[in-house]
Copies of this chain bind each other. A is one copy, B any other.
Amino acid sequence: MSLTIKDVAEKAGVSVTTVSRVLNDRGYISAKTRKKVMTTMEELNYTPNEMARSFLSNKTRFIALIVPTTENPFFGELTFHIEKELAQKGYNLFICNSLNDVDNEKKYLRLLQEKRVDGVIVGSHNININEYEYFENKIVSIERELTAHIPIIQSDNYLGGKLAAQELVDKGCKRILCIRGDQHIKTPANDRATAYKDVMEENGLNYSFKEVPFQLQDQEKEALIDQIFAGEVVYDGIFAGDDIIAKMCINSAIVHGKSVPEELKVIGFDGTKIVRQLNPELSTIIQPIEKLAQKSVKILLAVLNEEKVNQVTKLSVKLLASNSTKR
């Protein structure tokens, strides 16, 4: 068992209160006493028990982040930036991979209550669950509509959808498919589909959707995508749900004897660092991941501080149009 404040107090010949005062730099203390206590703490190599303090203050300085999986680079990068931001503000990050499974998410929410985390950032995507209500005064969400009162930080998905669709149109595509997620999940990402539809209509083109739920396994996604190219391929452009799906489309198209980008142009979404490094030739919409992280943390801390915050925060996105002759 480690040393306590009491050990320090005894060794230094003062009361525990005095040690506590030094520790927290609170109240009047003579320079001499402070010095003595500090020295003693060092000699003993005393480490305050944050657990006890948390218990007392009812604050853990833990923030939980619920994401589908940090395996996905969007969330891996988001996690990194959120942790960095939180650490700077003196908070620590408790990671929860929900795998987009409702039961997992419920279990985690229960756990978070028990562990008394100070706040929660949700980036997972599910049908809504009531359990979020419990956290209403200490939660924000990234790209997901939870309840009417939970602040949401999101990319400008409409703009993203518009830029993507317009890019394909500008490159001469006439029959463009939009791959979207599960329609029944309320997420700002749905705005992309709306924007796509609007662009198509403005340009007098037909629109068509294919649903590839985000929570599927990669193999299942690939199977769905293969369906697109299995029969006679009627598309010359695809606006994919994310960069990985975009890549899957490209792979499938090539396997099915389609040349990319000559016969088929594909545009992705997310534009994570790793995708841009590995596939710079992929056109995509870049989400401001670092800013999403910063805003989320900022707004969450404001909420915890009982300040008034905007219900919706929308951040701009950018088109990364590949000039490459390859794609």
Contacts and interface: CB of A to CB of B under 8 A. Distances in A.
Interface in A33-84: 47-52, 54-55, 58, 60, 62, 69-73, 75-77, 79-81, 83-84
Contact of A83 (B48, B55, B96, B111): B96
Given A69-B80, A244-B274, A244-B278, 11 more contacts: A1-B58, A47-B110, A47-B113, A51-B51, A70-B83, A73-B73, A73-B274, A92-B94, A93-B95, A251-B280, A279-B279
Contacts of A218: 277
Contacts of A83: 70, 95-97
A247 interface: yes
A12 interface: no
B71 A60 contact: no
Interface residues of A, number: 51
Given A94-B92, A114-B49, A278-B247, A77 B84 contact: no
A115 interface: yes
Contacts of A279: 278-279
A163 to B, nearest CB: 22
Q: Is the interface of A mostly helix, strand, loop or mixed?
A: helix
B277 A244 contact: yes
A80 B70 contact: yes
A60 B69 contact: no
Contacts of A149: none
Contacts of A70: 70, 76-77, 79-80, 83
Contacts of A72: 76
